[in-house]
Structure 1
Amino acid sequence: MSINVRVLVADDEVSLRLVLQTAISKVGYGVDTVENGKEALRMAQENYYDVALLDIRMPEMDGLQAFYEIHKIKPDLPIILMTAFGSSEIAVETMKRGAFDYILKPFNLEEVKIIVNRAIHMRRLVREVVYLTQEVKVLSMETAAPCKLIGESPKIQEVYKSIGRVANSKAAVLLTGESGTGKGMVAKTIHYTSDRRQNPFVQVNCGSIPDGLLESELFGHEKGAFTGALFQKAGRFELAEGGTLFLDEVAEMSPNLQVKLLRVLQDKEFERVGGTKTFFTNVRIIAATNRDLAKEISEKRFRADLYYRLNIVPICIPSLRERGEDIILLADYFLKRFSGETGRNGMFLTPDVIDIFRSYPWPGNVRELENAVEHALIMSSNRVILPEHLPLSITLEEVEEGTVVSGTGSLQSLREVLSEAEKRHIAEAIERTGGNHTHAAKLLQISRRALLYKIQEHKLS
């Protein structure tokens, strides 16, 4: 079992790059190599790395300049500088600027591996402290101001009733419903209205963590349990002790982990990966999925016995289509929240926008509505939200399903044509202004913030 650690190496000597890549790869880490500082900066901008090694003397952009630029955008990335021309001034200056370490060529590869491991260990500790700090911050915020579900429709009223019935129970809860319906918010509401609210609410997305890491994430691991396990780590079950553990996208869990989770639910005990000590747990489990678990069970992808353990209290969250009365109520709530955060109070939706919101089918549910309101607020330069401020996916009517075929092949939808035209137009404005976003925004007659949003939306560099 190996941890997915990525290392960036930048040196203009091909032989040295190969030597470092071979040595570090043998430890079990992935290694990317580049030949100059400019490429190192680009790779650091586009990828995630646990540590970077930069030679100081390189063409195009030297290692010092690359270090300064990378440190600006990735201040938590440990950077180790390498050089054959050491001086006390450079060493002192780079360490003051935040370099992790400074090594002189020629160097001992074993020493390099020790320094790399120490950098990775340090970063892991920092990330764990940040995670725990965020958990405490979220807990204190939520305890002071419990989660607020928005809606008055009969369907959402039934959800409220279920939350009230189950809040102080120890029983596991299974939340089902389409993506974007607010299962995470319901889970938090159950926790913060329960008698466990003074203890942690810990969330883990089972679909976003590689299967090889999820076991360690849930149960923790001992130092040396696997390649890259450089320190002891507490898992989410330990962090949630006395509180609630929310397993989002639980259907994505592998069969092997399903067995281990079932054991914890049955026996209330577990061991860390690589450990022998048994930990007893007092955690309330809330699980969520957008899949049909009955179908998953019939097709042998989800264990029936685990399903029965999780499904003691089922709560189905309705789609936004099923609670149409709540659409404008939710839109107003999101508008007030986003406008308050940006200091633009007094924003309102026009009747045309309200009509569009009521007639749109909202396949992405509450999350899509929230994103649409935020998008509209960014695109608007005054207090009024107009139809032209909404995303194209909402303002354009859906084309009939299927492909329209003519004598020359398939025909693009109007949305696709307009989106491509918008992307080209923005790219041209950026090119004309030499990449100056402020000037490009003026040229396009939109705000700079709206331009940045569009650049991200169209994935323009």
Structure 2
Amino acid sequence: MPEPLSRILVADDEVYIREGLKEALEIPGYAIETVPDGDTVRARLKQAHFDVVILDLRMPGSSGMELLEHVGQHYPDTQAILLTAHGNVSTAVEAMKKGAHDFLTKPVDLAHLRLVVERAIDRAKLVRENRELQSRLEARQETDDAFRRIVRRSAAMQRAARLVKQVAMSDVPVLLRGETGAGKELIARSVHDRSRRWDGPFVAVNCGGFTEDLFASELFGHKRGAFTSAHADRPGRFALAEGGTLFLDEIGEVPLKNQVELLRVLESREFQPLGDTRVHSADVRIIAATNRHLEAAVEAGAFRDDLYYRLNVVPIDVPPLRDRREDIPTLVEFFFDETCRAYELARKRPDSAATELLTNHPWPGNVRELRNVVQRLVVTSESALVESRQVSEVLGEPLETEDAPVAASITLPLGSTIDEAERELIRHTVQRMTSNRREAAEILGISVRALQYKLKQYGLR
């Protein structure tokens, strides 16, 4: 299909000038129209779209300066060029402030005019494309993009969401930092969905799932016969993500040898499949994620500093669930509804005591663990109302009653951190042994001030 003509409107009260300009611009791809005064310009703009208008500063009806404001307010996709026989710096500055694409003095250098018009048309197309893209993005965001699924009542998640909106439309690398199960992939998808690449592929890769020998083949692909088991050509993840986003999860697990290969691709934006003599371009946006402290890994020599700086252009911290307790009731409701729909069950919901138990649980497995627990509650509950007793059974936490003995021990899953163990010890002491801060501090062997600090640090009530 041929590209549509670029429409240009020339306005000047002197017939020889406007016809001369028209003749100078009559080149393939342009459709030129001329008018003798400012009022006719207004009328034609109402009737048809023009990519560029060339306006004489002084002419009958509306002046060129008045028309500049009119075009800027009502036709933002149209670029305006101002002509004058009385050029001076103050007039040029005023014209540019009112939105003129350029300012030319008479007699007009026709070669320069053609260049200015060409640039104005390019800018008009870019403005129109950006407006159309923004319109499509807004339409998509009104339906079901990942960003709308981010629960962000908590200040920590609001900070993360603000960063997503700020970085999405650029192509800079993003590094997501957070514990396992905290929701880093949802954040990555949100960045993708709000970017210019939203209609391209989103390819997620678990970097911890590849051996050192398989890494290059999985990411860059291979040709048939490249190694013993390469029986056919296979595209790598960079090729699959072409024009879209490549999400490198668990980036901290990449072996040092493979870090060099990855860095080379990120710097050159080119990759070479195993066994291929050709070099391929890598038109992808990189979002990486880690649950490790990469700075410490760099200091220990386990992670390359140059790769770290290449990935850590915009870091986004995804908080653990225990640091965003305000979000838990909303997440619980969402997961209940989601599970009921998925299994075609009648709607179920937790009572207030059950919700409180879920909210106060430490969730070492974060959002992923919460979702799994809710799924279990939904499929095992026989009634529409899930009670605290059922939640307590699933979580393995005894209910507190007046007659129930105080728990003499706590249980922690293997892999818990020292901070998580300390948090649980403090929580159980305060909630199940004594609510008196002085007594609790004596039991824990710390000062009251230290206890108050740690209660605030761990978000305990």
How high is the TM-score relative to the length of structure 1?
A: 0.55
Partner of 2:277 in structure 1? 276
Partner of 2:226 in structure 1? 225
Letter in 2 for 1:257: N
Partner of 2:336 in structure 1? 335
> Residues 235 and 142 (structure 1 numbering): CA distance in 2 closer, same or farther, change over 3 Å?
farther
Q: How do 1:117-266 and structure 2 match up within 5 A? A: 145-147=144-146, 148-266=149-267
Letter in 2 for 1:192: D
Asked whether the equivalents of residues 376 and 391 of structure 1 are also in contact (C-alpha less than 8 Å), the reply is no
> Residues 396 and 209 (structure 1 numbering): CA distance in 2 closer, same or farther, change over 3 Å?
same
Asked whether the equivalents of residues 174 and 286 of structure 1 are also in contact (C-alpha less than 8 Å), the reply is yes
Deviations 1:213-235 (A, max 9, x none): 22111000011111110011111
Computing the radius of gyration from Cα coordinates, the structure with the larger value is: 2
Secondary structure in 1 aligned to 2:172?
A: coil
Secondary structure in 1 aligned to 2:315?
A: strand
- Mapped to 1, the partners of 2:141 and 2:283 lie a distance apart of 21
- Mapped to 2, the partners of 1:240 and 1:144 lie a distance apart of 24
Asked whether the equivalents of residues 357 and 391 of structure 2 are also in contact (C-alpha less than 8 Å), the reply is no
Deviations 1:282-340 (A, max 9, x none): 10000000000011111111000000000000000011111110111100000011112
Partner of 1:304 in structure 2? 305
1:344 equivalent to 2:355? Answer no
Partner of 1:371 in structure 2? 372
Deviations 1:266-291 (A, max 9, x none): 11111001222100111000000000
- Displacement, 1:393? 6.1
- Displacement, 1:145? 2.5
> Residues 345 and 194 (structure 1 numbering): CA distance in 2 closer, same or farther, change over 3 Å?
farther
Letter in 1 for 2:144: A
- Displacement, 1:384? 1.5
RMSD: 2.0
Structure 2 residues not aligned, in runs of 5+: 1-139, 399-406, 413-461
Asked whether the equivalents of residues 340 and 378 of structure 2 are also in contact (C-alpha less than 8 Å), the reply is yes
Partner of 1:441 in structure 2? none
Structure 1 residues not aligned, in runs of 5+: 1-140, 403-461
Deviations 1:163-191 (A, max 9, x none): 00000111000000111100000000100
Identity percentage of aligned residues? 40
Letter in 1 for 2:282: T
1:320 equivalent to 2:321? Answer yes
> Residues 244 and 391 (structure 1 numbering): CA distance in 2 closer, same or farther, change over 3 Å?
farther
Letter in 1 for 2:265: V
| Greater CA drift, 269-278 or 162-171 | 269-278
Secondary structure in 2 aligned to 1:361?
A: coil
- Displacement, 1:392? 4.5
Secondary structure in 1 aligned to 2:259?
A: helix
Secondary structure in 2 aligned to 1:150?
A: coil
- Mapped to 2, the partners of 1:187 and 1:316 lie a distance apart of 12
Q: How do 1:19-34 and structure 2 match up within 5 A? A: none
- Mapped to 2, the partners of 1:268 and 1:346 lie a distance apart of 49
- Mapped to 2, the partners of 1:254 and 1:142 lie a distance apart of 38
Count residues with an aligned counterpart.
262
- Displacement, 1:143? 11
How high is the TM-score relative to the length of structure 2?
A: 0.55
**After TM superposition, what 4+ stretches of structure 1 lie above 6 angstroms from structure 2?**
141-144
- Displacement, 1:382? 2.0
- Mapped to 2, the partners of 1:332 and 1:202 lie a distance apart of 29
